[in-house]
Amino acid sequence: MNRILVIEDEHSIQKMIHYDLTQLGYQVVLASDGLSGLQLARNEPFDLIVLDLMLTKLSGLEICKALRRENHPAYMIMLTAMDEEMQKIEGLDAGADDYITKPFSPRELAARIKAALRRSERKEKPVTLQHQDITLDTLSYEAYLKGDKLNLTLKEFELLQYLIENKGIVLSRDQLLKTLWGYGYDGDTRVVDVHIFKLRDKIDPDANLIKTVRGVGYKLI
């Protein structure tokens, strides 16, 4: 699930954005001033940040600059109150990826967000992933073992994809839970173990590929 941070001090706009984006299935976190927005952006993972230009404590420009200096990867959409060319340019200079001029329609914001998330997903992930005898097609969500199509659930597919993308790296149960089941998922990490067991059962019955790292998590070798 994509997580979106909305930094906006106008309550009515905040409420509208929150309602619309939640309806679309995004996980939305709100901040009402610049400083708390910046802290949230630093402390929690977000795929996209919608931020107002004029905020109390820290402006949208300052937040943008600070996060880009720290190489924050989130896509940033700046909300500008005035239709002024200068501010848009400043916003883009500061590291925003896009801007929307108020007043805007919720539909427009949603369309921009969808497009942005689609683009960033495509940029990050190759369509075909290969590891030893396993091939994944990340567009069709099909997985093959030695050319034979595997019958994986969506979660098993995502888990396998994540393992392949991070092969050789020990992934903790918490990290897997957070990444694949969503931040704030309050189930326990046994859900990860169960999926690993199911995945092993289908592709790796002898556990030669997906290794258990005792006390930590799992590693694909």
Q: 80 vs 138, which CB is nearer to Ca ion?
A: 80
54 lies in the site for Ca ion, by CB under 5 A? yes
Strand order, beta sheet including 98-101 = 27-31, 3-7, 48-52, 75-80, 98-101
- Between CA 23 and CA 188 the distance in angstroms is 26
Q: 1 vs 82, which CB is nearer to Ca ion?
A: 82
Other residues' Cβ atoms within 10 Å of the Cβ of residue 159 = 24
The span of 32-40, 50-58, 67-75, 144-152 binding Ca ion (CB under 5 A) equals: 50-58
Question: Least Å distance between CB 23 and Ca ion?
Answer: 23
9 lies in the site for Ca ion, by CB under 5 A? yes
Question: Least Å distance between CB 55 and Ca ion?
Answer: 6
Question: Least Å distance between CB 137 and Ca ion?
Answer: 44
Other residues' Cβ atoms within 10 Å of the Cβ of residue 85 = 8
The answer to whether 176 and 166 are in contact (CB under 8 A) is no
The span of 3-11, 59-67, 154-162, 168-176 binding Ca ion (CB under 5 A) equals: 3-11
The span of 25-33, 52-60, 104-112, 209-217 binding Ca ion (CB under 5 A) equals: 52-60
Q: 52 vs 90, which CB is nearer to Ca ion?
A: 52
- Between CA 33 and CA 14 the distance in angstroms is 11
Using the Cα atoms of residue 143, residue 193, residue 205 and residue 163 in order, give the sign of their dihedral. Answer: positive
30 lies in the site for Ca ion, by CB under 5 A? no
Structure tokens at 147: 């050319």
97 lies in the site for Ca ion, by CB under 5 A? no
Q: How many residues bind Ca ion (CB under 5 A)?
A: 3
The span of 1-9, 22-30, 104-112, 194-202 binding Ca ion (CB under 5 A) equals: 1-9
The span of 8-16, 34-42, 83-91, 194-202 binding Ca ion (CB under 5 A) equals: 8-16
- Three-class SS of 152-199: CCHHHHHHHHHHHHCCCCCEEHHHHHHHHHCCCCCCCCHHHHHHHHHH
52 lies in the site for Ca ion, by CB under 5 A? yes
Question: Least Å distance between CB 139 and Ca ion?
Answer: 39
Interface with Ca ion (CB under 5 A): 9, 52, 54
